[in-house]
Amino acid sequence: MLSPFMRSRPVLAAICIFFLIAGACAAEPRRIVIAVWDGMRPDFMTAEMTPNLWQLTQRGVFFAQHHSVYLSATEVNGTAIATGAYPARSFVIANTDFRPAIDAQEAIAIEDPATVARGDAINAGHYLGAPTVAELLHARGLRTAIAGSKQVALLHDRAPRADKPDASAVVFQGATLPAELAKRLASAHGAFPATAATQDTIARDAWTTQVLIGSLWKDGVPPYSLLWLAEPDASQHATGPGSAQSLAAIRSSDANLGLVLADLEKRGLLATTDVFVVSDHAFSTIARKVDVAVELSAAGFKAKRAAPGGLKPGEVLIVSNGGSTLVFVGDHDADVVDRLAAQMQTQDWAGVIFSRTAIKGTFLLAAAHIDSPDAPDLVVSLRWSEGKSANGTRGLHTSDLAASSTRLGNHASLSTYDMHNTLVAAGPDFRAGVRNPLASANTDLAPTILWLLGYRDEAGRMDGRVLSEALVAADGPPLRGVTAERLHAHRELPGGGTWSQYLQIVEINGVRYLDEGNGAFVPAAK
């Protein structure tokens, strides 16, 4: 069923003409609205299933080669969208990580509010290694509105603040900054749906959307707003991409987008607002589940999921992120690290292996921009294939799921189906009806947004690039060349057989986009 927005002919007419009159609106204040559909694959965007998003695609720019940063996971890419920084510089390389300064015994959830507060406390306010768009705009006296039905929204704007009329608001999974705002939102919109069961995620998204347009925008739409929707991620985890439940979740996200667009039109702001619809990552169906800690323990390593008393020399801490796994070795013991790499290179669940220091048959962490200060000794992206699921959806992968074995869909690997996500941009600053074939990534949103808002020096200091080829104005940074390369690594293993892996990379203006990567062990011929 079409949303009320799509049934409104005046609204459709406004969408059709506001790109044509953009020149007349150039002097009007610019506003940016980002809608994040968590886990949205671009191949599920159709005129029938996502009419509101489809209309934006037809009237704006569809980025046909858009990418997640690796690891293709929520907190990693939420931070990339917020900062325009590679994971190595933002410090967020995984959803679940080991940060001994925060917790010396167990892995942490990067987005957990207590973790965020602790990280800021021990790093003088720099839990993230790069400033966010919201923080940069606050420093210039501009108001922002961040609303997410997941805690990842907190990473965009996390500083405590006083409850005052002009305060920039943050809503993250029902909690708020300033804290006093929560009571007013509950009074106006009811309580945030309490349970996290999959069937309630759609209700959480609806509540969060109403909070943004009904309360955070009550006194006017600020220059920068972000709405983070938890669907279709939750449904795809529970039932797999392409399931009836997942398709219903996509329709729900599209309906929420329609409400946002309708509200902008009602306020007379659609013609002066650039709208981005992006996903943090895409999705695969789990074809096989492994427990990497169990596998490595069986091979004779002291592998574990927690480190009571701290990680001791030679011990191995395994931190699962679904399609990829982080491996930490006590005291970075070089012999243990090398033996671990060699063991994983014989396994049929390993795809691409990255290492802190040079090891035969691996790529350095820096090749994937995941060489953060607390980076693990090894990272393995698990094996994937082009096969189809029972739902008829392409993209299968192996998942390290010791802590969440009920999941049917997952992500975080270097599969092309995890790494190629969704981006559509439409508004007065964007060309109309364009399919952009050039590579782009979530790191490119922040510099593009700051460029459009007039903060060009800040845009130029980010790791991502301004998406000049998609803009109406010709004054964006020029394209200086596009290159593609395929990195290879091999290792002849002592027991016989060869390990081979590859990493496909596209580079534009010095910005590197990881396209996909995989690997395999070939036993020696008998």
Task: Tell me what the pLDDT averaged over the chain comes to.
Answer: 93
* Section 377-395 average pLDDT: 97
Q: Tell me how many degrees the CA angle 315-119-421 measures, rounded to the nearest 5.
A: 85
The per-residue pLDDT for 403 is 61
Determine, yes or no, domain membership for 172. Answer: yes
Please identify, among 470, 494, 510, the residue that sits at the C-terminal boundary of a domain: 470
**Sorting pLDDT into bands at 50, 70 and 90, what band is 20?**
very low
Looking at the structure, tell me whether residues 134 and 235 fall in a common domain: yes
Looking at the fold, whether 438 and 386 belong to one and the same domain comes out as no
Is pLDDT at 19 greater than 50 in this prediction? no
Which tokens belong to 255? Answer: 């309906």
Predicted confidence (pLDDT) at residue 402 exceeds the cutoff of 70: no
Strand (E) or helix (H) holding 488: strand 482-492
SS3 of 465, please?
A: coil
pLDDT of residue 453: 97
Nearest residue to 108 via CA among 122, 98, 117? 98
Query: Are residues 169 and 257 part of one domain?
Result: yes
Compute the distance between CA of residue 374 and CA of residue 79 in angstroms, rounded to an integer: 17
| Burial zone of 331 (CB within 10 Å; 0-12 exposed, 13-18 middle, 19+ buried) | exposed
Q: Comparing 197-211, 361-375, 388-402, which segment has the lowest mean pLDDT? A: 197-211
Do 263 and 293 belong to one domain?
no
Question: Percent of the chain, pLDDT > 90?
Answer: 89
pLDDT category at 3 given cuts 50, 70, 90 is very low
Residue 478 maps to a domain? no
Tokens of 372: 């953060």
Say if 456 falls within a structural domain: yes
Query: 111, 75 in Cβ contact below 8 A?
Result: yes
277 and 203 co-located in one domain: yes
514 and 439, same structural domain?
Answer: no
Domain check: are 255 and 334 in the same one?
no
CATH number of the domain residue 247 falls in: 3.40.720.10
83 with 136, same domain: the answer is yes
Q: Residue 11 pLDDT > 60, yes or no?
A: no
Q: Is residue 267 part of a domain?
A: yes
Tell me, yes or no, whether 117 lies in a domain.
no
What pLDDT is recorded for position 198?
A: 52
Element (H, E) at 251: helix 244-266
pLDDT of residue 474: 87
- The verdict on 259 and 353 lying in the same domain is no
pLDDT per residue as tens digits for the range 237-270: 999 999 999 999 999 999 999 999 999 999 999 9
Look at residues 445, 470, 495 and tell me which one is the last residue of a structural domain: 470
Residue 194: predicted pLDDT: 81
- What is the distance between the alpha carbons of residues 268 and 153, in angstroms, rounded to a whole number? 27
Instruction: Tell me, yes or no, whether 294 lies in a domain.
Output: yes
Assess whether 136 and 245 both reside in one domain.
yes
Task: List beta partners, residue 290.
Answer: 400
- Judged against a pLDDT cut of 60, whether residue 23 lies above it is answered with no
Angle between helices 244-266 and 51-59 (to 10 degrees): 60
Q: What average pLDDT does the segment 285-298 reach?
A: 96
> Structurally, how many domains does the chain consist of?
2
pLDDT at 8: 38
pLDDT band at 404, cuts 50/70/90?
A: low
Predicted confidence at residue 9, as pLDDT, reads 35
The pLDDT value recorded for residue 302 is: 98
Kindly state the tokens that stand for 514: 């990881």
List Cα–Cα distances, 458 to 11, 53, 136, 454, in angstroms.
35, 30, 8, 9
Between 18 and 4, residue with greater pLDDT: 18
Amino acid identity at 424: V
Q: Are residues 401 and 460 in the same domain?
A: no
pLDDT reading at 327 higher than 60: yes
Per DSSP bridges, beta strands 384-388 and 394-400 are antiparallel
β-pairing, 31-37 vs 273-278, is: parallel
Q: What is the mean pLDDT of residues 286-295?
A: 96
AA letter at 201: T
Range of the domain at 427: 28-92+128-282+420-470
Confidence band for 195, pLDDT divided at 50, 70 and 90:
low
What is the rounded end-to-end Cα distance, in angstroms, of the chain?
Answer: 61
Judgement on whether residues 80 and 175 belong to the same structural domain of the protein: yes
Dig out the tokens for 229 from the structure: 């929707």
Cα 92 from Cα 375, distance rounded (Å) = 10
> Given this model, what pLDDT does residue 210 score?
98
